[in-house]
Amino acid sequence: MSTVAEPAGTKPTRVRHRILGFVVLAYFITYLDRVLISNAMPVIQKEFGFDIGTAGVIMSAYAWAYALFQIPGGWFGDRVGPRIALACVVTWWSAFTFLAGFSASVTMLAVCLFLVGLGEAGAFPISNRALSRWMLPSERGFAQGTTHAGSRLAGAATPLLVATLIGAYSWHVPFWLFGAVGVVWAVVWYGYYRDLPREHRGINHAERERIEAALGTAPKKRQPIPWKLILSSRQMWTVAAMYFCYGYSLNMFLAWYPKYLNAERGYDLAQMGLFTSLTLAAAVVGDILGGVISDYIIHKSGRIKFARQSVAITGFVIAAIFIPLGVHMDGPYLTAAMFGLGVFGLELVVGNAWAVTLDIGGSFAGSCSAVMNTLGNVGGAIVTTVTGFIVAAYGWSAAFYVVTAFCVAGALLFTQIDAGRKLAADATSPVT
């Protein structure tokens, strides 16, 4: 923190926006590793000679670890602070991504993917906690939309990148490369980020005052996490159930869409990478627009509940309309457009869902978002595990119809979420 007197009228620094940029990169790296798994799977499956059910079980090793360690990850971030916590978890999962590239058996690959998922489980809750003491309330929708746009940009870029690297070298190389990138990020993050604005040497008085005027001054001692209050909140469980629907739906595209294009549509590796990238590129637009529109409504009307609900519910409805249309399209570009609009709709939801955990969670945003993300990723783990068996029994269309049903359920659940009602005003206040 600077102690030099500043002239009157000095413009605020923009440290919080640089921190947002670091978090966007963290989300990008998370999805590099996450989407790598599904896009490399057809090649790995061919090399090791296992069936589609085994492929689902291997990918679910990652998915279940990612789901089950959300709350421990959020607790770790709230307990030691996001500076240390995020550096630790990124280093952890990057190391095991690197090791996964040496896998010589199904068992080794599954164990490495489980440990990658264990580390990545903390990424989003800790990142959310990292932003909670820096981003102004009027910037939260944009911040959440931008961070998730970073992850979806990785989701769109990774299929083409992985296809290129595998085509030029082997499936091992992207695991080694992406693992190294994560370690570099962790070192830079630890050097730049600070848990509180007043601890950062680069922030000036004007920006610090603006942040503290909006968010208050953080207590010097870390408050105990009110798990009983959080877990007894009806609103918290409604948010989590909504995110279960979102997680099931989105992970159909992250875990199985490349395989669908390969097995059902007959695309080769290059086509699979191209059309997966085109479909997931729509997610980037949805992430940014969802946050921007929500923040704009708040700025104009002050109605935070309406802002979060209107955008998210619209997103779920768009997904419910266009995903089944994608199933019945014939041309590759028209198919990509329909599925892309479905993914766009889903991504209108995500920035608002995570903004809600900041809105209602306050100092416990990491733990609240971990509860939400746990249920979301249980949904993701279930779709990763069961889709292979649904396809084997009923076909790919049935698997996408199940996704559509969850989109409808998610829209209905969001009608019951009030982002203007905090779970707890402080560590001892009752949860409503």
Torsion sign over Cα 36, 118, 178, 50 = negative
- Which one has a higher pLDDT value, 391 or 226? 391
pLDDT score, position 425: 55
> Does residue 389 form part of some domain?
yes
CA atoms within 13 A on the CB side of 407: 28
Decide if pLDDT at 183 tops 50. yes
pLDDT score, position 223: 65
> Does residue 420 form part of some domain?
no
pLDDT score, position 3: 46
At 71-110, the pLDDT tens digits run 888 778 878 889 999 999 999 999 999 998 898 888 888 8
Decide if pLDDT at 359 tops 50. yes
> Does residue 426 form part of some domain?
no
At 220-247, the pLDDT tens digits run 566 677 788 888 889 999 999 999 999 9
At 401-413, the pLDDT tens digits run 999 999 999 999 9
pLDDT score, position 97: 92
> Does residue 182 form part of some domain?
yes
pLDDT score, position 170: 86
Decide if pLDDT at 312 tops 80. yes
pLDDT score, position 220: 55
Decide if pLDDT at 345 tops 90. yes
pLDDT score, position 105: 84
Q: Which residues contact 104 (CB under 8 A, 6 or more apart)?
A: none
Q: Which residues contact 387 (CB under 8 A, 6 or more apart)?
A: 56, 252, 255, 256, 399
Question: Residue 80 corresponds to which amino acid?
Answer: V
Decide if pLDDT at 432 tops 50. no
List Cα–Cα distances, 427 to 54, 79, 92, 225, 231, in angstroms: 46, 14, 31, 7, 14
At 17-55, the pLDDT tens digits run 899 999 999 988 888 887 788 778 878 888 888 877 777
134-148, 192-206, 375-389: least confident range:
134-148
Mean pLDDT of the chain: 84
Q: What is the dihedral of CA 153, 155, 160, 164, to 10 degrees?
A: 110
pLDDT band of residue 388 (cuts 50, 70, 90) is confident
> Does residue 289 form part of some domain?
yes
List Cα–Cα distances, 347 to 14, 52, 138, 228, 284, in angstroms: 27, 28, 20, 31, 8
- Can you give the CATH number for the domain in which 382 is found? 1.20.1250.20
At 270-295, the pLDDT tens digits run 787 788 878 878 888 888 888 788 88
pLDDT band of residue 163 (cuts 50, 70, 90) is confident
pLDDT score, position 147: 81
At 420-430, the pLDDT tens digits run 787 765 433 33
List Cα–Cα distances, 46 to 40, 163, 239, 319, in angstroms: 10, 15, 40, 33
Whole-angstrom distance, CA of residue 336 vs CA of residue 290: 21
pLDDT score, position 240: 94
At 194-214, the pLDDT tens digits run 988 888 888 888 888 888 877
The tokens for 412 are 């209905």
Torsion sign over Cα 80, 86, 92, 93 = positive
pLDDT score, position 415: 95
Whole-angstrom distance, CA of residue 346 vs CA of residue 145: 12
pLDDT score, position 321: 97
pLDDT score, position 56: 77
> Does residue 199 form part of some domain?
yes
At 2-15, the pLDDT tens digits run 444 455 557 888 88
pLDDT band of residue 373 (cuts 50, 70, 90) is confident
Residue numbers of the domain that contains 109 = 15-414
Question: Averaged over 128-143, what is the pLDDT?
Answer: 78
Decide if pLDDT at 327 tops 80. yes
Decide if pLDDT at 217 tops 70. no
Among residues 368, 365, 323, which one has the least CA distance to residue 346? 323
Domains in the chain, number: 1
> Does residue 235 form part of some domain?
yes
Whole-angstrom distance, CA of residue 37 vs CA of residue 25: 19
| Residue that has been written with the tokens 């306050």 in this structure | 362
pLDDT score, position 281: 81
Backbone angles phi, psi at 404, to 5 degrees: -60, -40
> Does residue 423 form part of some domain?
no
DSSP string for 223-287: PPP-HHHHHT-HHHHHHHHHHHHHHHHHHIIIIIHHHHHHHTS---HHHHHHHHHHHHHHHHHHH
| Residue that has been written with the tokens 């989407």 in this structure | 35
The proportion of the chain whose per-residue pLDDT surpasses 90, expressed as a percent, equals 30
